Amino acid sequence: MTDLTEFLLARIAEDEGVARDVGEGYPRALLGPSAHSHAFKWLPARVLAECEAKRRIMEECADLASSEDVYTHADLILCALALPYADHPEYREAWRS
């Protein structure tokens, strides 16, 4: 699953970079000047929290990979984490299990 792990880490890093780059301006630009402050502050923070959560899940999967049965479950979890990126050109259909 090294390829899938590398793929996921790259997508997470991309998401994190975008969230850091856009900061508060991104949601305001999308929602217009009348957007509530909560709406335009929340999105980047949520994305960054999701990135951290995905990394933690991936670390737990790697730690569990010592057992063949558990590795199968870890593999399925990683495939599920990759699903939101299915439209990415480097996504492999074999991960859609």
CA distances from 59 to 28, 31, 63, 71 (A): 34, 36, 6, 13
pTM of the full predicted structure? 0.72
Is residue 95's pLDDT more than 60?
Answer: yes
User: What are the tens digits of pLDDT across the range 15-25?
Assistant: 998 888 776 55
The better pLDDT of the pair 31, 3 is held by 3
Taking phi first (over 0 means left), then psi (-120 to 50 degrees means alpha), and beta for anything else, what does residue 7 get? alpha
pLDDT at 60: 86
- For the cut 80, the answer to whether the pLDDT of residue 30 exceeds it is no
Q: How far is C-alpha 50 from the chain's CA centre?
A: 6
CB of 50 within 8 A of CB of 13? no
Tokens of 8: 């996921």
Kindly tell me the burial class for residue 1, based on how many C-beta atoms sit within 10 Å of its own C-beta (0-12, 13-18, 19 or more): middle
Above 90 in pLDDT, residue 73?
Answer: no
Q: Where are the domains of the chain?
A: 2-95
Task: Provide the pLDDT for residue 97.
Answer: 72
- Percentage with pLDDT > 70 across the chain: 71
